[in-house]
Amino acid sequence: MDEYDWLIVGAGYSGSVLAERIASQLDQKVLLVDKRDHIAGNAYDYRDDAGVLIHKYGPHIFHTNSKKVWEYLSEFTDWRYYFHEVLAIIEGKKVPIPFNFNSIQEVFPEALANKFENLLLDKFEFGKKIPILKLLNEEDKDLKLLADYIYKFVFKGYTSKQWGLNPDELDKSVTGRIPVYLSRDNRYFQDAYQAIPLNGYTAMFEQILDHPNITLVLNEDGIEYSKKISYHKMIYTGPIDEFFDNKFGPLPYRSLEFKYRTFEKFPFQERAQINYPNNFDFTRITEFAYLTGEFHGKSTIAIEYPKVYIPGVNDPYYPIPNKENEEKFKLYLNEAKKVKDKVIFLGRLADYKYYNMDQVVARALMTFETEILTEK
Ligand SMILES: Cc1cc2nc3c(=O)[nH]c(=O)nc-3n(C[C@H](O)[C@H](O)[C@H](O)COP(=O)(O)OP(=O)(O)OC[C@H]3O[C@@H](n4cnc5c(N)ncnc54)[C@H](O)[C@@H]3O)c2cc1C
């Protein structure tokens, strides 16, 4: 029977970063297993039939304020510096998202737009992001009018489509996130570091995993595979409910379907991402060439349709954060605590939490420092 120090289930960021740390810093043997036929988890990118580099599980844009995360990943990739911009179609007009002063000028007559800007700046500091739900509770009737407009045309339709729920059925951590940005900065993110790996995410993961102490096995279920090998400890980055045979019932997720179209030339649309909050069944269209910088030749877009998650049929994408699901997750967390000497749980599926890529890298680096290095 093959012997390893570690069995790591899942070759996304969580599993791959920990495999790299253990292999390179502790000189221990790692078996990394993923049930898919590729590495990189949901950040996986590949060339489609037309030769265009596309993202299989939705468009991924790297952004972070963490110098530590940036420097860590920079060991494995060069970058293409990239500022993401998003427009939403509101009453037939294309307006910058997050909704900002330029958006206000776009949808309202000039005098009214100026009035809104002044009112906002009387109350809040320039450059701040004010959650739409906070504005809705304002007493000033003009600000309320503005908030009602944004709520109706930008927020409500998109949120209902995305989650299949009314906004008030969702946790504030989701709904509260959507801001009005008191600025003319049309970039979607404001982080210190914003970029796409120069040769793509999968190429970056190949570098992360390029170590003689790491053995990679694809197309295998990690839990089943654990029975065939001998190992000292497991790191599990899959769904926590599946690990415990769904004993408290499955944790609900929202899923997505991507429909791809390829065109003979770039561009199909005028920004990387266009949102459709109020029309059609899809939420957004992304054109990958903006992200990759491959502007010549054919161009592929992804049209994104939110879907109910059906285990075994489609993929779990977004945990649905509400009180009931959080309670159920806690039951699984208690089970995880009972086996903590044998298994470390982390990642978006094991923590039942939406993480951006930088957050999940930071979580993996921290886990290495506090739970693995200290045990040595
Ligand atoms: C549509 C969408 C768009 C996103 N866009 C961005 C973005 O623009 N910027 C950003 O920062 N973040 C983005 N994210 C978030 C990003 O995808 C996650 O932060 C990241 O993928 C989490 O990494 P992970 O390793 O925790 O999980 P995953 O990437 O999901 O990796 C888990 C892996 O475990 C494997 N696995 C599960 N169970 C088993 C098992 N039993 N046996 C073997 N293998 C198993 C899975 O196949 C998977 O490969 C986006 C997410 C979505 C859904």
Cα of 32 vs centre of ligand 1, distance in Å, is: 15
Cα of 374 vs centre of ligand 1, distance in Å, is: 27
Annotate 275-332 with DSSP letters as a single string. E-SSSSS--EEEEHHHHH---SS-EEEEEEEEEE--TTTS---EE--SHHHHHHHHHH
Q: Determine the Cα–Cα distance for residues 159 and 103; give it in Å rounded to an integer.
A: 19
pLDDT at 175: 64
- Mutate which of 20, 60, 318 for ligand 1? The one with the most ligand atoms within 8 Å of its CB, which is 60
pLDDT at 133: 78
Beta strand 230-236 with 3-9 is: parallel
Any residues with CB less than 8 A from the CB of 316 and at least 6 apart, and which?
Answer: 239, 253, 255, 309, 349
Mean pLDDT within 205-215: 98
Comparing CA positions, the residue from 175, 44, 52, 184 lying closest to residue 105 is 184
Q: Give the ranges where the chain is alpha helix by DSSP (H).
A: 13-25, 67-74, 101-107, 110-123, 132-136, 141-150, 157-163, 172-175, 201-208, 222-225, 240-243, 288-292, 323-338, 357-367
33 lines ligand 1 (CB under 6 A): yes
Residue 35's identity, in one-letter code, is: K
- Mutate which of 73, 208, 237 for ligand 1? The one with the most ligand atoms within 8 Å of its CB, which is 237
pLDDT tens by residue, 213-235 = 999 999 999 999 999 999 999 99
Q: Determine the Cα–Cα distance for residues 191 and 187; give it in Å rounded to an integer.
A: 10
pLDDT tens by residue, 251-278 = 999 999 999 999 999 999 999 999 999 9
> b/e per residue, 224-240, with b = 16+ CB within 10 A?
eebeeeebebbbbbbbb
pLDDT tens by residue, 276-330 = 999 999 999 999 999 999 998 899 999 999 999 998 899 999 998 888 999 999 9
Examine the pLDDT at 176 and tell me if it is beyond 70: no
Helix axes 13-25, 357-367, angle to 10 degrees: 40
Structure tokens at 44: 């996986």
Beta strand 253-263 with 318-319 is: antiparallel
Q: Determine the Cα–Cα distance for residues 356 and 107; give it in Å rounded to an integer.
A: 31
Q: Three-state DSSP class for 113?
A: helix
pLDDT tens by residue, 126-145 = 999 998 878 888 888 898 89
pLDDT tens by residue, 52-95 = 999 999 999 999 999 999 999 999 999 999 999 999 999 999 99
Q: Three-state DSSP class for 63?
A: strand
Q: Say which residue, 132 or 32, is predicted with more confidence.
A: 32
User: Where residue 173 falls among pLDDT bands split at 50, 70, 90?
Assistant: low
Domains defined along the chain, listed by start: 3-80+193-249+320-375 (3.40.50.720), 86-181 (no CATH)
Phi, psi of 93 (to 5 degrees): -105, 155
Residue bearing the CA closest to ligand 1, atom 3: 58
304 lines ligand 1 (CB under 6 A): no
pLDDT tens by residue, 138-165 = 888 898 899 889 988 988 888 889 888 8
Mean pLDDT within 184-197: 98
Structure tokens at 99: 């909704």
355 lines ligand 1 (CB under 6 A): yes
pLDDT at 157: 87
pLDDT at 85: 98
pLDDT tens by residue, 95-138 = 999 999 999 999 999 999 999 999 999 999 999 999 887 888 88
Q: CA triplet 114, 119, 122: central angle to 5 degrees? A: 125
Beta strand 284-287 with 273-275 is: antiparallel
Residue bearing the CA closest to ligand 1, atom 20: 357
Cα of 124 vs centre of ligand 1, distance in Å, is: 36
Examine the pLDDT at 337 and tell me if it is beyond 80: yes
Residue bearing the CA closest to ligand 1, atom 39: 238
pLDDT at 131: 87
pLDDT at 174: 66
pLDDT at 71: 98
Which atom of ligand 1 is nearest the CA belonging to 36?
A: 47
Comparing CA positions, the residue from 359, 208, 338 lying closest to residue 346 is 359
Residue bearing the CA closest to ligand 1, atom 6: 60
Phi, psi of 223 (to 5 degrees): -70, -45
pLDDT at 368: 98
Share the mean pLDDT of the chain.
95
